[in-house]
Amino acid sequence: MLSFLGNTLCCVLRENFIFAMPRVVPDQRATFENDELFRKLRRESEIMYTTYRSRPIEEQRLRFQADCSEGHADLAFVSTGTNLQLTFTANSWSERPEERIPTREFVNFDIEPGKVHLKSQFILNGVCVMFRGWVDLNSVRGIGCLEFDEERALVEDAILREQVEHNNRRVQEFEDRRMQRQR
């Protein structure tokens, strides 16, 4: 005897009322400046290549250079143990793979001999950040830090506001339909 409960559940399920999870937090700069993790990661500290740790150093060097040339690498901040899977592409936000190609701005082997300078943009814990650092090609260790990515934060903040507005409209429409059904 579930007729009443069954109908109630079906009505709710038929509404298909799904919200998209926001990619960023509302006040990214404050989060970046006050969060303990970001405080640690924005200081320049030692980083290391973490892929193929069980392999000989010669193989790690070759794999690291190949990964960087392909536009990605797994690096870790040694002091905090924070592992990052970085992509070194100019248009990392694009949905199309052909637009995400590594450029010299993001992977540069030519600035200093024996080192590669890296830059990567991404969202970490709801905050747009930019990784900047360099890695020695012999030891696959280097120095890196995170910086707040103001430019991308503005874009993501506009997307967040639009998404919240859209969700609020959907909630209002849902409430209006519910009120009409009750009358």
Mean pLDDT of 16-20: 61
Question: What integer pLDDT is reported at residue 142 of this predicted model?
Answer: 97
Summarize pLDDT for 56-71 with one digit per residue, the tens.
Answer: 999 999 999 999 999 8
Q: What is the mean pLDDT of residues 116-141?
A: 95
CB atoms within 10 A of CB 45: 16
81: tokens are 């143990």
Pure H helices in 96-149:
none
Cα–Cα dist 5/131, whole Å: 52
SS3 173: helix
Whole-model pTM: value is 0.78
Strand runs (DSSP E) across the chain, as ranges?
A: 45-49, 72-77, 82-87, 107-108, 115-124, 127-136, 141-148
